[in-house]
Structure 1
Amino acid sequence: MPTILGQNQYGKAENRVVKITRDGATHHIKDLNVSVALSGDMEEVHYSGSNANVLPTDTTKNTVFAFAKEYGIESAEQFGIHLARHFVTSQEPIRQARIRIEEYAWERIETSDANSRFIGADEVKHSFVRKGQEIRLTQITYDGERWEVVSGLKDLVVMNSTNSEFWGYVKDKYTTLPEAYDRILATQVSGRWRFNWTDDEQKMPHWEKSYEQTKKHMLQAFAETYSLSLQQTLYQMGARIINNRSEIDEVRFSLPNKHHFLVDLEPFGLKNDNEVYFAADRPYGLIEATILRDGCEARIPVDMTNL
């Protein structure tokens, strides 16, 4: 045979599952987009078309929804762990399961005291508005022996309106960018972090707390760093996470520089004292790097879209 089969996987992508937990009159929402990819003894289905080892992708979809009821959704990570363990341990031909999850956050709508007289105090606990700060991410990979959990976020837009400079860079005959000693620093954060948890159930991180604390340290580092470059800010964000979250060994960021350029108002007889900017969407600088705990190896792909 002149060809052989290489890496392969299959599954059901983007299963949108919304789980409502009803705690009396108070409701709680978990809104996930779950993608399942399975691999293992799948050579024959590719070579001859035999489906003898194939669990239908429709079955994987049904499993996602059934598990939302059976196990609930405590966190995206815990839900993914339940799914990955199930697929690997229940089907002998399946040797590895990869679960990717996006989570969309909701927050409760607060009503005024005046309105509560008419709709009832209990009823205000079931109305929500979609939060737009970021999309939470996680990927769980399990091969029957080893776990790898990588979580993160994307589309988190942040800005410092001052305390940022950019000067002292290399210049050649094509350089036109003026040095900046007081500029806007803005970016849309895409980040992933890899947990050092392997399989000890007793030492499993508290996934919800870990996410909130990791995001907190990331944002605090962004806000508190007097930045001479976006690279410096990126490193401080990752280092703050590693230094404060013992369950995390690796952080990778992809930070597009959302450029804000001062508008020339002199033609109109006006002085622009760092007040009016043009927000350019493209082209943009793209800063990427991995920050590791000392002694650890990088495992998060450079192209995080493949995560």
Structure 2
Amino acid sequence: MTVVLGANRYGKAETRVVRVTRDGDTHHIKDCNVSVALSGDLAATHLTGDNSAVLPTDSQKNTVYAFAREHGVGQIEDFALLLARHFTASQPAVRHARVAIEEYSWERQGPHSFSRAAAEVRTCVVHHDKDGSTSVVSGLRDLVLLNTTGSEFHGFAEDRYTTLPPATDRVLATAVTAGWRHHPSAAGSRDYGKSYEQVRRCLIEAFAGTHSLSLQQTLYAMGSRVLTTREEICEVRLALPNKHHFLVDLTPFGLDNDNEVYFAADRPYGLIEGTVRHDDAPDPGPAWD
């Protein structure tokens, strides 16, 4: 039996960078967390300790800061593409670069004053090969949505351990994690900011407008709305935790409870995950990794 080195990569994870753009008395802020991972002809560092092809992760961190100063941050997809292309072009041994970015929102409270927004986190993952092939996945996490009615769950399978009663009117709540893959032909050539806002709107509208018989049905409706509305998107992946809301029994206090008072449980929770895609979507390759 022979031992061999398998797939490997290395990089600098979670470089936090805050970029302030000063436009006279009015300032603008971009707050991001950048993770870089590089792979290629790097077996020697694992097998013999030869580091001659290894760009230090500290250098990768410094590149993020320097590029933020020289180029600004702008749309996180564009910044990730800029970094990925730089590392594959500048390092002979690097064949592939993965750059993932999280962006945190701030709300303006004055020309140069901000408060941290209690909103979802915007995300992106970019893969770029030395041969020029590129994939861009935009996304978000912690988009909290809730319908107080218009949700049912019944007709489900039962076994000896089933205690859940069927529901014909329940609260449906979730914290959406979503990723959407841009058609490869569009990588680097679109308004990612506008695309993000429109996809986010589709997700919210589909959640709010679907009379749900299951969270799975809602997931499919959300992904379908994106794909039928935004031609630049070829695949959507969603993870929807079911944030359970249970009616509180108020009968010990001589009170009824006609779907008005709930206990919001944080765990355990159901987790519904799924992919919705065009049937002719290009091979994703490493896009979702």
TM > 0.5: yes
Question: 1:140 aligns to what?
Answer: 126
Task: Give ranges in structure 1 of 5+ residues lacking alignment.
Answer: 110-123
Equivalent of residue 262 in structure 2, options 269, 277, 289: 277
1:263 positional shift: 0.9
Determine if contact 2:186/2:232 at 8 Å carries over to the other structure: no
1:105 positional shift: 0.8
SS at match of 1:82: helix
Question: 1:15 aligns to what?
Answer: 15
Task: Render the CA deviation track for 1:91-118: whole Å, top value 9, x for unaligned.
Answer: 1111110001111011101xxxxxxxxx
Question: 1:179 aligns to what?
Answer: 166
**Cα separation, 2, equivalents of 1:266 and 1:199:** 59
Equivalent of residue 129 in structure 1, options 86, 111, 115: 115
**CA 1:51 to 1:172, structure 2 compared with 1: closer, same or farther past 3 Å?**
closer
1:188 aligns with 2:175: yes
TM-score (normalizing by structure 2): 0.95
**Cα separation, 2, equivalents of 1:178 and 1:106:** 42
1:220 aligns with 2:205: yes
**CA 1:7 to 1:198, structure 2 compared with 1: closer, same or farther past 3 Å?**
farther
**Cα separation, 2, equivalents of 1:29 and 1:216:** 23
SS at match of 2:184: coil
Equivalent of residue 258 in structure 1, options 243, 251, 257: 243
SS at match of 1:139: strand
**Cα separation, 2, equivalents of 1:300 and 1:282:** 34
Question: 1:165 aligns to what?
Answer: 152
Task: Render the CA deviation track for 1:200-259: whole Å, top value 9, x for unaligned.
Answer: 75xx12111111111011001111111111111111110000011111100010111000
**Cα separation, 2, equivalents of 1:80 and 1:74:** 10
Question: 1:87 aligns to what?
Answer: 87
Superposed CA RMSD: 1.8
Determine if contact 1:167/1:179 at 8 Å carries over to the other structure: yes
1:197 positional shift: 3.0
**Cα separation, 1, equivalents of 2:252 and 2:151:** 27
Paired AA for residue 54 in structure 1: V
Question: 2:281 aligns to what?
Answer: 296
**Cα separation, 1, equivalents of 2:152 and 2:58:** 53
**Cα separation, 2, equivalents of 1:300 and 1:276:** 47
Determine if contact 1:107/1:128 at 8 Å carries over to the other structure: yes
Task: Give ranges in structure 2 of 5+ residues lacking alignment.
Answer: none
**Cα separation, 2, equivalents of 1:298 and 1:222:** 28
Question: 1:29 aligns to what?
Answer: 29
Question: 1:197 aligns to what?
Answer: 184
Equivalent of residue 151 in structure 1, options 112, 125, 138: 138
Task: Percent identity, please.
Answer: 57
SS at match of 1:239: helix
